[in-house]
Each structure stands twice: as C-alpha cells, then as structure tokens.
Amino acid sequence: MTEAQREVAAEITAGPRGEVRGPFIALMHHPELARRLQQLGEQLRWGSKLPARLVELAVLITARRWTCQHEWAIHEKLARKAGLDCATVEAIAEGREPAGLPPEEAAVYAFCREAHAGGRVGDAAFAAVRDRFGLDGALELLALSGYYSLMAMVLNTAGLPLADNAAPPLRPLP
C-alpha cells in the first residue's frame, strides 16, 4: 500500500467498521475517495437520527434494487439484529412489498421504493417521512438510498466473494 492508502486504512480501522472490508477493499485504490465515502457512510449508518431498524430497511431495499449480494449478505443480518421482522426481510428478498408493515416502516419503504424507481420521491411519500422524522430525517433517508446505491455498484463491479455463512443469494428480479 502507498502511504496514503495506509493512512486511510488506519482511519477506517479506528472507526466503527473496525477494519477495511466490503467496498472499501476496492475503494482503497483511490484513498481520498475511500476516506470521504467512509466518512459519509459513518455519518449515515452510525450518526443517523433514524432508528437502526429503519436504516437497515433502507439498505435492504437498496441492496435488492441493485441485486447486490454482498450488501444483502451483510445487512440482512444487521436488519434482523436491529429488529426488522423476518417476514419483511423475506418479502424484500423476493421482490415483494411486505405486508402489514408498521407505519414508520411503511413510510420508509414507500419513500425508498419511489427513490429507486424513478430517481425522485413523490410529495406524499416525502411528507410521510418528513412528518415522522423531520426534514433532516428525510434528507438522511434520501442520502442513505444514494450512498448504498453507490456502494452496491462498487461491490457488484468488484465482485467480492461472499462469506461461507452468508445469507442465501438474491435471485435476479424480472
């Protein structure tokens, strides 16, 4: 590694990730980009005003959108640990809308699905999230969708292998 790569690797390792993993393995080829994306990801994942369950819901919706096996394998476990219902996780994996979502989850689901479907969240879905979490919460959710889309693209392009104990792979959606 270059000196710049060693510096960034040390920063990442000292943070909540604890090690250079996932998309940061590939991103280390551009240390300054890795540094800045790591900082954004740290804010969105560990500094969010949204509950962890809803952050992970947004990540799973994004991983499913891009059929990102690596992102799904990591965040599926985190979502369950954060309290996301197993039936919700399974529905998203199968490309179905989860039934009977609590109101907060339903608002996040609609918001993220609209963001990924057309690159814009409609007024009703935006207002539902804004009314629950404030304008800053709505902006965080939009940024989460974009950040994890970027990471999915990095992971899908890099083709990082999955751990042996990873969740079953996502099937491509029609």
pLDDT at 127 over 90: yes
pLDDT at 14 over 70: yes
**8 Å CB contact between 1 and 12:** no
pLDDT at 165 over 80: no
List the one residue out of 161, 138, 170, 111 whose CA is nearest residue 50: 138
DSSP, res 29: T
> Which amino acid is residue 63, in one-letter code?
A
**Tens-digit pLDDT profile for residues 73-109:** 999 999 999 999 999 999 999 999 999 999 999 999 9
Cα–Cα separations (whole angstroms), residue 149 to 38, 49, 61, 75, 142: 14, 20, 10, 14, 11
Reported confidence tier of residue 15, pLDDT bands at 50, 70, 90: confident
> Which amino acid is residue 144, in one-letter code?
L
In total, the chain counts a number of residues equal to 174
Whole-angstrom Cα distance, residue 29 to residue 45? Answer: 23
CB atoms near residue 93 (< 10 Å)? 18
**8 Å CB contact between 158 and 25:** yes
Phi-psi sector, 112: left (phi>0), alpha (psi -120 to 50), beta: alpha
pLDDT at 172: 72
- Average pLDDT, integer, range 5-20: 89
pLDDT at 65 over 70: yes
- For the chain, first and last CA: distance in Å? 41
